[in-house]
Structure 1
Amino acid sequence: MKRLLVSLLCFVLLAGCANVPLESQPVVVPGERQGQGSGDVVAEPRPDLDPLTLVREFVRATLKPGQNNAAARAYLDDAGRASWRPSRSLTIIQNTFGTVYDTNPQPDPNTQVVNVRGSDIGTLDQNNSFVPDFSSALLQVKVRKQPTGQWRIVDPPADLYATESDFSENYTPVPVSFYSESSNTFVPDRRYVVAKPQSGLPGRVMDLLVSGPSTSLSGAVKNFLGEPVEIDTNVKSLDDGTLVVPLTGLAGVSDDTRNLIAAQIVLSLQYVTSARIRILADGAPLVPNHPDWRLNDLPAYGSTLSPSLELQGLMTVGGRVRSLGDGSPVPGPAGNGGYDVVSAAQSLDGKRLAVVEREGGGVRLRIGDMGHDLSQVALGGTTLSRPTWRPGTGEVWTVVDQLSVGRMVVNQNGVWTALGVNATDLNQQGEISELRFSRDGARVAAVIKGELWVASVVGVGDSVSLREPRHLQPHDLEDVVDVDWVAQDNLVAVTKSTSQPVVRVTVDGQRMDAFNSSNLTPPVHGVTAAPGRQIVVADMSGLWTASVLGEVWRPQAHTMKDADPFYPG
């Protein structure tokens, strides 16, 4: 009987153990950030921490792995551990920050108020997008000595705070793709997802796709994965490595749209997986006879938005337009001195030219075919910014007197008409000296009072608005004089600075990197860039080229003093 009981007990234990998984697959809960689940054992802080150190370590523990912000929750008193429900907003502060006692005396010697001194870098909003905001970190934390003699936080902040380095270590940027109908291409929307566990990254990216574009692109792009489309079950990997993305809610969707949905998914997931992607709709292949996808299965979306390699770029110098390829003047009045050219822009296909011509005490805009007379259009003023061509539309934009954005549209008869742009949100930031369209047409970059700004382009019928302006790198980037798009989600800007005359900035302003300044003679006053092309900058001595960060600038083959370069677009 004893042997029988032991055998039965072992059988029950083994059966129970068989139901305990060795590793659980991550389940993505919409809206949760790292460390906002439940069930982790809280490890106690080091003993005998003073209030200042306690608060510093509390901030440092915010993004440590663990559910329910367990590592940070350990610094709270018992009541705080049970009741703390921080918001989904994450405030990112500079790595160097201080903690000091509040100057107001506390009536209870066992209670202290600690002020966190530092600077905000920005916030990670509820869409997991970075919003730059440089300001003083306003954070007060009350701590109280517990019966155990240990100090603990008794009023934890409503929002999460983390340092810039901790944020970079725990979150990975992912350009999530949404569709631009005007330019027939996909636009990257830079978002941030929790980096670990790595196996959960595809699921977290898919959640962002279904939730739609960030506020910065709302109205400027289209999401094919919005309502009523949903993720049917968890995104998972099969034994052969294939990643399965199961969707539902696609009944009646056309084949063309299904192909665009597949492209949107594959383009977004390429940054977090190299596996084959099997896209299902209610259990069947999303696209009939095409269950599995890789990046090379997609058409070259956006390839027509970059200038042909045969178009080597142009420059304005001495009132004329010349070729960057050989330095010779372009044919027609723009090159032979017929116009006193201040600035110019070539259309993406290279067939048209827009020039700002100096006339009397002001300037006028001319547009026409390359090599021919350019028609003077109904747009002029004291100043006009360098023209920029709106992708997919044939429109030419320029800023009039640094205040209003002028928009020229051509009809079938070749007649150019001036239309308005609702740029109120951007105008409110100050005088605009430069404006440049992104290659996909969904955004503009602007130089406003020496600062770098980005806004979305929202079109409804014939009307166009510039919305959601964002100030990039407000603390570290100033005296900007020119800007261009080196990629869809990266800009290159030039400044009057001698220490960092050329910088690359992400479209959300989360990161900035300086180019090598060797060989340059500041101040730098002009820049042009395009995907797959060398960056060309203009300084006091002429034109210089480079391709990547850290590369030494080399003289452009046909450099000229006082030249301003520009690629088509």
Structure 2
Amino acid sequence: MKPHALRGAGGKLLVSVLCLLLLASCANVPLESQPQVVSGERQGQSSGDVVPEPPLNIDPLSLVRAFVGATLKPGQNNAASRAYLDEQSRASWRPSRSLTIIQDTFGTVYDTAPPPDPNTQVVNVRGTDIGTLDQNSAFVPDYSSALLQVKVRKQANNQWRIVDPPADLYATESDFTENYTPVPVSFYAESSATFVPDRRYVVAKPQSGLPGRVMDLLVSGPSAGLTGAVKNLLGEPIEIDTNVKSLDDGTLVVPLTGLSGVPDDIRNLIAAQIVLSLQYVTSARIRILADGAPLVPNHPDWRQNDLPAYGASLSISPQLLGLMTVGGRVRSLGDGAPVPGPAGNGAYDVVSAAQSIDGKRLAVVERNGGGVRLRIGDYGRDLAMTSLGGSSLTRPTWRPGTGELWTVVDGLSVGRMVLDQNGQWTALSVNATDLIQQGDLTELRFSRDGARVAAVIKGQLWVASVVVNGDSVSLREPRHLQPHDLEDVVDVDWVAPDAVVAVTKSPSQPVVKVTVDGQRLDAFNSSNLTPTVHGVTAATGRPIVVVDANGLWTASVLGEVWRPHSHTMKDADPFYPG
């Protein structure tokens, strides 16, 4: 009987899965409450493994439940899980390097088909599949229906044991969160000259091994969700020379090899990538070596405050307080007054707008006959009419580090506006097939590092990576976030480099924060909000601003009660630069 097939049902599942990522060590997950990654190859059970026997006379249903519950218990080569197998399977079972996470609440029932003999039973595990932890220790959401079939047989000693163990490992959401910790591993984005967090999960214990597991992830490169969107500075032939270790004075030593001929500017970026990634698992001074010598000459030891402010040009100036469109005009969030020029005085019938990150340019979508048209120009001045128009255009979004402006035309194609050498805005195409085929896009927002976009498609939340190949730009690796618990999404923005804030039509969770991989969803306090919430803007270090049936509201953290915005206006659409 084929021991596979467990895929999603309904239910809330915010956690994800991750096991067996790099090689062997992961096959048996150390226990603790912070996930991490392990390297090495999976080997056969060693003579030192202790395999405790299950309770005497355990029934088949309880046996299979206990088998799932033992997946992430400490021990070499999944010793705790092997205890529930018969002798032959204990010796031969080689589970894949993939971990499937299922909802905490799951059922074990006997298969409806009659067993081949009284001493054999097939147990069905029924529940919700939340996602998988892939070989790069990245969480991949997967909400398909779940059915895992496990064959058990009564042994000569009258004890039931599993005889056909599944090829993949399965663990519950709670067990996963207890044993793994998320780490935003950093990779470099050339177009925006900043570092992008790639959310990964590593085995939490032993805690002393966390830096080494994170370094293994760095050397292995970005996850599939960011491949092509960021650069792997630590790719071949660079590798970790010996184990990452701590000295007696607490200094963490990261020994690398394979950097011969690497220029100083790249060495500085490599140092930054390592320090930014390790900051989540150590507070120690970091000594980075290349073939025994300092990676960066005359700078052997590093702390986070030694790094330059990468991405500073992508930050919003404190003087730029944000804008809003209301009643066909663009107004300031700072004082509620109309902005200077035609965009604020009513000369344009503005539907939506976007201010560049430096505040110098403004783009507006204006009503034009029976459709809409895009205008772009200097803030406070006349805005030139562009060739881009249609029945609908999404609120424009500026691509960080490039000066480009994007918008979705009629929900079916992504327009990319580029300023040419003659000072004219030219429309170029974006290969968005992978995303568009999911349905009509009603919102599209760039992350503030430019490596990803968040999108609303048919009321659902998606993210995709931005991949550049020469002059062409593509949206790749679309991921559907929280499909069972997040519906009727109407707007989205980036609240952090690895998280978005979305607003929905739901009265119970009108505003939510979702990690970029969809592994976690948290609802903001709904107090004071009046359905339907229909707009949001957010940025790192700025209050979140939402708009409901009565006007604008602000909050900064989860659990905080929403406060009326000082310049609230009904039917406003707020937006920060970007």
Rounded to whole Å, the distance in 1 between the matches of 2:267 and 2:459 is 44
In structure 2, the partner of 1:187 is 196
Query: Do residues 332 (structure 1) and 341 (structure 2) align?
Result: yes
Rounded to whole Å, the distance in 1 between the matches of 2:157 and 2:245 is 47
Segment drifting more, 71-80 vs 35-44:
35-44
Shift, 1:46, TM fit: 1.1
SS in 2 for 1:33: helix
Query: Do residues 401 (structure 1) and 394 (structure 2) align?
Result: no
Shift, 1:414, TM fit: 1.7
Rounded to whole Å, the distance in 2 between the matches of 1:477 and 1:405 is 24
Give the AA of the match of 1:339. Answer: Y
TM-score (norm 1): 0.94
CA shift digits 1:277-302 (9 cap, x unpaired): 00000000101111110011001112
CA contact (8 A) 1:32 1:88 kept: no
CA shift digits 1:462-503 (9 cap, x unpaired): 110000000000110110000000011000000000000000
CA contact (8 A) 1:517 1:553 kept: yes
In structure 1, the partner of 2:555 is 546
In structure 1, the partner of 2:150 is 141
Structure 1 residue aligned with 2:63, among 29, 51, 54? 54
Rounded to whole Å, the distance in 1 between the matches of 2:312 and 2:106 is 45
In structure 1, the partner of 2:492 is 483
Rounded to whole Å, the distance in 2 between the matches of 1:226 and 1:53 is 46
CA contact (8 A) 1:74 1:81 kept: yes
SS in 1 for 2:95: coil
CA shift digits 1:391-420 (9 cap, x unpaired): 000000000000000000002332100000
Asked which structure has the greater RCO (Cα within 8 Å, sep 6+), the reply is 2
CA shift digits 1:32-54 (9 cap, x unpaired): 41515643211111111100000
What count of residue pairs does the alignment treat as equivalent? 542
Query: Do residues 33 (structure 1) and 26 (structure 2) align?
Result: yes
Rounded to whole Å, the distance in 2 between the matches of 1:357 and 1:29 is 52
Give the AA of the match of 1:296. Answer: N
- Written as runs of structure 1 = structure 2, the 5 A alignment for 1:146-545 is 146-545=155-554
SS in 1 for 2:161: strand
SS in 2 for 1:154: strand
Query: Do residues 63 (structure 1) and 80 (structure 2) align?
Result: no
Give the 3 Å change call, closer, same or farther, for CA 29–471 of structure 1 in structure 2.
closer
In structure 1, the partner of 2:7 is none
Give the 3 Å change call, closer, same or farther, for CA 360–340 of structure 1 in structure 2.
same
CA contact (8 A) 1:482 1:493 kept: yes
Give the AA of the match of 2:503. Answer: V
Give the AA of the match of 2:165. Answer: P
CA contact (8 A) 1:34 1:194 kept: no
Rounded to whole Å, the distance in 2 between the matches of 1:86 and 1:192 is 19
Rounded to whole Å, the distance in 2 between the matches of 1:432 and 1:557 is 32
Rounded to whole Å, the distance in 1 between the matches of 2:56 and 2:83 is 12
Identity of aligned residues (%): 83
Runs (5+) with no aligned partner, structure 1 = 1-27
Give the AA of the match of 2:73. Answer: K
CA shift digits 1:311-367 (9 cap, x unpaired): 000000000000000000000000000000000000000000000000110000000
Segment drifting more, 406-415 vs 389-398:
406-415
SS in 1 for 2:273: helix
Which one has a bigger Cα radius of gyration? 1
Shift, 1:107, TM fit: 2.4
CA contact (8 A) 2:22 2:136 kept: no
Rounded to whole Å, the distance in 2 between the matches of 1:343 and 1:325 is 18
Give the AA of the match of 2:445. Answer: R
Give the 3 Å change call, closer, same or farther, for CA 450–172 of structure 1 in structure 2.
same
Give the AA of the match of 1:86. Answer: P
Give the AA of the match of 2:26. Answer: R
Query: Do residues 92 (structure 1) and 95 (structure 2) align?
Result: no
Shift, 1:130, TM fit: 0.3
Rounded to whole Å, the distance in 1 between the matches of 2:407 and 2:267 is 38
SS in 2 for 1:68: helix
Shift, 1:148, TM fit: 1.2
CA contact (8 A) 1:34 1:66 kept: no
In structure 2, the partner of 1:10 is none
SS in 1 for 2:142: strand
- Aligned alpha-carbon RMSD (Å): 1.0
CA contact (8 A) 1:528 1:566 kept: yes
Give the AA of the match of 1:397. Answer: W
CA shift digits 1:401-455 (9 cap, x unpaired): 0000000000233210000000000011000000000000000000000000000
CA shift digits 1:248-270 (9 cap, x unpaired): 00001111110000000000000
Shift, 1:384, TM fit: 0.3
CA shift digits 1:17-66 (9 cap, x unpaired): xxxxxxxxxxx974641515643211111111100000001001000111
CA contact (8 A) 1:133 1:474 kept: no
Structure 2 residue aligned with 1:73, among 55, 77, 82? 82
Shift, 1:303, TM fit: 2.2
Moved over 2 A (4+): 28-32, 36-39
Give the AA of the match of 2:346. Answer: G
SS in 1 for 2:177: helix
Rounded to whole Å, the distance in 2 between the matches of 1:511 and 1:303 is 28
Rounded to whole Å, the distance in 2 between the matches of 1:32 and 1:428 is 39
Rounded to whole Å, the distance in 2 between the matches of 1:363 and 1:428 is 23
In structure 1, the partner of 2:115 is 106
CA shift digits 1:516-546 (9 cap, x unpaired): 0000001100000000000000000000000
Segment drifting more, 33-42 vs 298-307:
33-42
Rounded to whole Å, the distance in 2 between the matches of 1:224 and 1:372 is 43
Rounded to whole Å, the distance in 2 between the matches of 1:510 and 1:234 is 30
Give the 3 Å change call, closer, same or farther, for CA 31–318 of structure 1 in structure 2.
farther
Query: Do residues 127 (structure 1) and 120 (structure 2) align?
Result: no
Give the AA of the match of 1:366. Answer: R
Give the AA of the match of 2:64. Answer: V
